[in-house]
């Protein structure tokens, strides 16, 4: 007696059904009256603020934007001026990986007293 194998037939049927479902979903979009949504090119572009970068070398020298600074007072003055100018700006500390965590933590704490939540510690993806 001959038998009909239903598994391949059901596979084809499910594939066709999936095709029609996806096609109908792509062809019918939900429209909300005459509302035109803004695109990325229209409207004002967000101003990207350049972060203030402070570096800490392994010999303990502090750099401001790549330039060696005299001391903590220069860093504080630069940070205060930057934060007053850019309320949402970010101050980034880039510390040498060979420094002890205590040295990095001390500078980071001093920076956070001035900049609060605007201070970040940079890490290298590895």
Class of domain 52-121 (CATH, top level): alpha beta
Percentage above 70 pLDDT, the chain: 81
Q: How confident is the model at residue 10 (pLDDT cuts 50, 70, 90)?
A: very high
pLDDT at 95: 85
- Global pTM? 0.57
Q: State the DSSP H helix or E strand holding residue 16, giving kind and residue range, or none if neither.
A: helix 6-27
C-alpha 115/C-alpha 80 separation (Å) is 7
Lowest mean pLDDT among 24-33, 81-90, 117-126: 24-33
**What b/e sequence results for 59-90 when a residue is b if at least 16 CB atoms lie within 10 Å of its CB, and e otherwise?**
eeebebeeeebeeeeebeebbeebbeebeebb
The answer to whether residue 105 scores a pLDDT higher than 80 is yes
pLDDT at 11: 94
pLDDT at 35: 60
């Amino acid at each position: 007696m001959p038998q009909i194998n239903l598994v391949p037939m059901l596979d084809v049927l499910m594939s066709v059904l999936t095709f029609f479902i996806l096609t109908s979903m792509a062809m019918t979009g939900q429209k909300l009256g005459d509302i035109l949504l803004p695109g990325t090119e229209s409207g004002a572009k967000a101003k990207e603020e350049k972060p203030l970068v402070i570096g800490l070398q392994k010999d303990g020298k502090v750099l401001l934007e790549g330039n060696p600074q005299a001391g903590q007072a220069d860093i504080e003055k630069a940070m205060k001026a930057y934060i007053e100018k850019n309320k949402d700006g970010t101050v980034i500390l880039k510390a040498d990986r060979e420094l002890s965590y205590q040295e990095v933590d001390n500078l980071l704490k001093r920076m956070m007293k001035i900049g609060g939540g605007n201070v970040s510690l940079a890490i290298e993806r590895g």
